[in-house]
Amino acid sequence: MRVAKSSSFFLPVLMIVSAFVAVVLLFPPIDASEPVLQDEVMAQVTATATATPQAKNDQFQEIKKEIDAKVFMYHHIGPLPDKADDIRKGLTVSEQEFEQQIKYLSEQGYKIMSFAKLDEAILQKQLPQKVVVPTFDDGYDDNYNYALPILNKYGATGTFFIITGKIGKSEYVTQDQVKEIFSKGNEIGSHTVNHPSLDKYRGESLKNELIKSKETLEAITSSPVISFCYPAGKYNQQTIDVVKDAKYKYAVTTKSSLGVIDLENLFEIPRYRISSGRNIEAMLR
Ligand SMILES: [Zn+2]
């Protein structure tokens, strides 16, 4: 009885549904409506397809004339020698302070990277929103002993500007140390052969400082050297022209940074001078 009751209810419903389906099959929607439907579907598909990369792109900066990148200038990292004068003190950041800075930057979401890595990120249009480029001038062996392990610990990299004529001399990195710094993902940049004031150099002697040092470092790392640092921040237009001719892509000065890099002026990149006691938090605010 129950079966009969329910079928007596469902049978008419089934017939109505079948009739509706038959009508739809016999009289499909007019052709003109199809492209509209397709367009709508395509619009939705496109919206979905572009939504994902857009969301992802929020992690990255738009590559415009000025990019947001803070370039830091360090010299010595590590303990002060016994008879350190004021100049040496001014050029030194202790390993504890350096680690605090790298830790703070990491916690604040900064990506700490070399110019070589910055260059890749710009080309791939995947430059993180917050970037710090730590640079180390002169190639002191304390950079290898103290800065390198701390950078490694935080998955950070930096650019080390080496004076090639000083490699292996007392207080400076050796060739093997340069190789190891490079093998940990850091960049090796040139800081000339003899660290002269380049604004007073011209012709062959200028070329020699820029090209010879580049060739020496490229031989050590088996990789192109694209970054350069003007000794004591001294340069003029002629220096810039020869730096360009020597196929460098980035050159740093000692001018004070405002936190951005002008992509149309990559041969005069300003930097934040980091000396002992500098309050990074206040500096970046
Ligand atoms: Zn220097």
The pLDDT tens digits along the chain (285 residues) read 444 445 555 555 555 555 554 544 445 444 444 444 455 544 554 444 444 444 455 789 999 999 999 999 999 999 999 999 999 999 999 999 999 999 999 999 999 999 999 999 999 999 999 999 999 999 999 999 999 999 999 999 999 999 999 999 999 999 999 999 999 999 999 999 999 999 999 999 999 999 999 999 999 999 999 999 999 999 999 999 999 999 999 999 999 999 999 999 999 999 999 999 999 999 998
| Whether residue 30 is found in the same domain as residue 74 | no
DSSP β-ladder status, 227-229 and 70-74 = unpaired
Indicate if the alpha-carbon torsion angle 18, 19, 23, 26 is positive or negative. positive
Q: Which domain holds residue 95?
A: 67-284
Q: What three-state secondary structure class fits 124? A: coil
Cα 192 to averaged position of ligand 1 atoms, centre (Å): 9
Is 62 contained in some domain? no
In a domain, 61, yes or no: no
Among residues 35, 55, 75, which one ends one of the domains? 55
Q: Does 60 reside within a domain?
A: no
Statement to judge: residues 38 and 77 lie in one domain: no
Predicted local distance difference test score (pLDDT) of residue 12: 53
pTM score of the predicted model: 0.80
Give residues whose Cβ lies within 5 Å of ion ligand 1.
137-138, 231
188 and 167: one domain?
Answer: yes
| Residues 24 and 99 placed together within one structural domain of the fold | no
- Clarify whether residues 211 and 271 are in a common domain: yes
Q: Does 115 fall in a domain?
A: yes
Distance 162 CA to ligand 1 centre (A): 9
Same domain, 200 and 118: yes
Q: Tell me how far CA of residue 263 lies from CA of 91, 116, 256, 268, in angstroms.
A: 28, 14, 17, 10
- Same domain? For 151 and 37 the reply is no
Q: Distance from the CA of 253 to the center of ligand 1, in angstroms?
A: 10
How many structural domains is the chain composed of? Answer: 2
- The verdict on 51 and 75 lying in the same domain is no
- 212 within some domain: yes
Nearest to 273 by CA among 257, 250, 249: 257
Question: How crowded is residue 190: how many other Cβ atoms within 10 Å of its Cβ?
Answer: 28
Could you tell me if residue 118 is inside a domain? Answer: yes
Same domain, 110 and 181: yes
Ligand 1 center–CA 85 separation, angstroms: 17
Same domain assignment for residues 81 and 17: no
- For the CA atoms of 62, 223, 177, 261, what is the dihedral angle to 10 degrees? -20
Integer Cα distance of 73 and 134 in angstroms = 6
- Report the length, in residues, of the chain: 285
In this structure, the answer to whether residues 141 and 242 fall within a common structural domain is yes
Asked whether residue 117 falls in the same domain as residue 219, the answer is: yes
Q: For residue 55, what pLDDT is reported?
A: 45
β-sheet bridge partners, residue 49 = none
- Cα 232 to ligand 1 centroid, rounded to whole Å: 5
